[in-house]
Amino acid sequence: MTIYRSLFRLNCLSVLLVGFLVLLTLMSGLQVSDLFFNPFFSPNPTLALLTRTFQLLCSVPVIVCTFSYGLAKTIQLRFQENRFILFSALLTGGFLLNEIYRIHIYMVAVGIPKLGVCLLYAVVLFSYGWFFRLELQSTPYKILLAGLGLLFFAIGVDTLKLQNQILASLLEGVPKLFSEINIAFYYWYVCQCFVEKAVHKTVNSSVKI
């Protein structure tokens, strides 16, 4: 069956990726066990609680957009109507990967200026907004703008390197958390409307036939 063939290919690809990572780890002078190093644990459950909550919220738009795109693609084949959801999944997925694996820190570590990294991300975000400006205007985009505004505010606070750690944590962490709450809600609502519209189109087409 097709599903088992796809599953077999997925597992084969995963084995190859794991093998590559093991080889890369050994070449770096590390142990294979380092790949499976347990995340930081503390007996206090509140430690990093909001940071982990933020990362969980970052996964919501990726999952919702990916599922909506896959579902819509099975019931309507016109790529023009699906590409906004597809690229939204790619954009939010990239943001999620950056938050979990701290890609921007590695980029700075290899010699790329921090300003250059920020400009790169800004160009990607601007390109997304420009190419999908019509689709965005048909949605409650002000929610997305509010979320991005809070995120930029948090990034700005981080660059200030405030001496007061409590104030710095609150001014950076709280807006960052609420930014993702708004962004996750925005994509949840947009994808819900997108799927409902796709289903209604399919139902109406079937009735006409």
Summarised one tens digit per residue, pLDDT across range 5-42 is: 888 998 999 999 999 999 998 888 888 888 887 766 66
**Residue with tokens 């606070």, as numbered in its chain:** 157
How high is the pLDDT of residue 25?
87
Compute CA distances 136 → 10, 161, 193, whole Å.
Answer: 34, 34, 13
Predicted confidence band of residue 206 (pLDDT cuts 50, 70, 90): low
- CA–CA distance, 96 with 198 (Å, rounded to integer): 27
Summarised one tens digit per residue, pLDDT across range 132-180 is: 999 999 999 999 999 999 999 998 998 888 888 889 899 999 999 999 9
Q: Which residues of 113-145 are buried (b: 16+ CB within 10 A; e: fewer)?
A: eeeebeeebeeeeeebeeebeebbeebebebbe
For residues 84-105, average pLDDT: 93
Q: Say if residues 193 and 165 touch (Cβ distance below 8 Å).
A: no
Q: Is the pLDDT of residue 209 over 70?
A: no
- CA–CA distance, 54 with 178 (Å, rounded to integer): 9
In the chain, % of residues over pLDDT 70: 91
Summarised one tens digit per residue, pLDDT across range 40-91 is: 666 777 788 888 899 999 999 999 999 999 988 887 656 666 899 999 999 9
How high is the pLDDT of residue 55?
92
How high is the pLDDT of residue 80?
64
For residues 178-201, average pLDDT: 92
- The domain segmentation of the chain, as residue ranges, is 1-33, 49-208
